[in-house]
Amino acid sequence: MSAAPASNPALESVEQAVRRRGAELVELSHAIHAEPELAFAEHRSCAKTQALVAERGFEITASAGGLDTAFRADFGNGPLVVGVCAEYDALPGIGHACGHNIIAAAGVGAALGLAEVADELGLKVALLGTPAEEFGGGKALMLQAGTFDDIAVAVMVHPGPIDMAGMRSLALSEVTVHYRGRESHAAVAPYQGVNAADAATVAQVAVGLLRQQLAPGQLVHGIVIDGGQAVNVIPGHAALQYAMRAKDSDSLGELRAKMVACFAAGALATGCDYEINDAAPAYAELKPDQWLVEVCREEMRRLGRHPVPADTEAAMPVGSTDMGNVTQVLPGIHPMIGIDAGGATVHQPGFAAAAAGASADRAVVEGAIILARSIVHLAQDQSQRERVLSARDRRAVS
């Protein structure tokens, strides 16, 4: 990162703009938090996330990428197109236990801040409302649909228990496995049945035995979503839902092949038919842009935060995200901003409660500032600006 001048009006301008709107950003975070909505059904959250940028004059494109609860809001006409991603989906039963209300509000704040310097720095700011991160792969679908085609760099910030500038993630594949057998009376003629629930049980046992041979970084976890309807009926249908994770997409492919064999074992042992359906697009691992990571790290420190050391980040992958798909295609970052959750971590009820607390409100404002100032640094560094623009141009012709 090149040293910034002692006084940098653009950096100061974006920060002041975010702080001026701080109360509105916190209000937005709380409003999304109060009405959690699940994947592809985030209609109220999508509308709330658009409101402040619409008032600022951003041009809104509804249903971006063909998704009802996605949008793109553009401001400026500069050649450097910057995407700021805003997630807003929640989790079943535990609401915003991943803090996506913070992500959305911080994304709005960063977009509003960058709008102040868009003309000066030759920017086009694109706020992207991206649904269904928890399940469904909204960003992956938007990427496939071309929503990111003109974007040179994409950024977002995610809350968590610690600060981490160069956050990494695991590649992810989620599948639903259906077994189909034949119903029969469990007491009168059990021998005439083909037990789909037994097929699911055999598959789960096979997966359990496979765990000893999983490579480092590989994880599997699943649930039974249908195991029969009545104890006196041999189940003619059963279903499993499994997630597979690995350190990268290649390792994930190897894991998936082994898991498919386990699912097939259940069918073979019981005589059932089976099918495996992808529940969502596969998530690639995050590939953060290292120059932007170091800028982000310095911005965190400037605000008094303490990001984990760079040499430990690669060994600390945190969950999985469809932002990984984006960063495999174009330069981007997905830092984690710490909030005080009393020892709770993401996907726990305690984190959901903390996501509307005082430290979360601070994270909304500071997360927006970190993203906006990081983009200003990029826009003002001629070599880095040319690097990301050249990469975009190469994508366009490939």
Q: Give the domains, in start order, of the chain with CATH numbers.
A: 9-169+285-397 (3.40.630.10), 171-278 (3.30.70.360)
User: CA 179 to CA 183: how far, in whole Å?
Assistant: 12
> 320: buried, middle or exposed (CB in 10 Å: 19+, 13-18, 0-12)?
buried
What pLDDT digit, counting tens, does each position of 38-92 carry?
A: 999 999 999 999 999 999 999 999 999 999 999 999 999 999 999 999 999 999 9
Q: What is the pLDDT of residue 172?
A: 98
Q: Are strands 153-155 and 171-180 parallel, antiparallel or unpaired?
A: unpaired
> 7: buried, middle or exposed (CB in 10 Å: 19+, 13-18, 0-12)?
exposed
Residues of the chain with pLDDT > 70: what percent?
98
| Residue whose entry in the numeric block shows the structure tokens 């792969």 | 137
Q: Is the pLDDT of residue 3 over 80?
A: no
User: CA 11 to CA 127: how far, in whole Å?
Assistant: 19
| Composition of the chain by helix, strand, coil, percent to 5 | 45, 20, 35
Q: What is the pLDDT of residue 6?
A: 63
User: CA 117 to CA 76: how far, in whole Å?
Assistant: 9
Q: Which two tokens stand for residue 277?
A: 């359906």
Q: Quick one: which of 75, 45, 149 has its CA closest to 375? A: 75
Secondary structure of residue 321 in the 3-state scheme: coil
Q: Is the pLDDT of residue 5 over 80?
A: no
Rounded alpha-carbon distances, angstroms, from residue 161 to 92, 120, 232, 309: 21, 36, 48, 15
Q: What is the pLDDT of residue 397?
A: 87
Beta strands in 197-296 (DSSP E): 219-226, 237-246, 273-278
Q: Quick one: which of 376, 368, 366, 367 has its CA closest to 295? A: 376
User: CA 189 to CA 298: how far, in whole Å?
Assistant: 71
User: CA 246 to CA 223: how far, in whole Å?
Assistant: 19
What pLDDT digit, counting tens, does each position of 128-147 carry?
A: 999 999 999 999 999 999 99
The strand order across the sheet containing 123-130 reads 59-62, 71-75, 123-130, 80-87, 153-155, 332-333
Q: Is the pLDDT of residue 30 over 90?
A: yes
Secondary structure of residue 266 in the 3-state scheme: helix
Q: Which helix (H) or strand (E) holds 295?
A: helix 290-302
Q: DSSP string covering 167-211, please?
A: ----EEEEEEEEEE-B--BTTT-GGG-B-HHHHHHHHHHHHHHHG
| Residue whose entry in the numeric block shows the structure tokens 């990571």 | 293
What pLDDT digit, counting tens, does each position of 163-218 carry?
A: 999 999 999 999 999 999 999 999 999 999 999 999 999 999 999 999 999 999 99
What pLDDT digit, counting tens, does each position of 215-238 carry?
A: 999 999 999 999 999 999 999 999
- CA atoms in the 13 A half-sphere facing the CB of 257: 5
Secondary structure of residue 152 in the 3-state scheme: coil
Q: How confident is the model at residue 398 (pLDDT cuts 50, 70, 90)?
A: confident
What pLDDT digit, counting tens, does each position of 294-342 carry?
A: 999 999 999 999 999 998 988 888 899 999 999 999 999 999 999 999 9
219-238 in b/e form (b: 16+ CB < 10 A) is: ebebeeebebeeeeebbbbb
Whole-prediction pTM value? 0.93
What pLDDT digit, counting tens, does each position of 337-366 carry?
A: 999 999 999 999 999 999 999 999 999 999
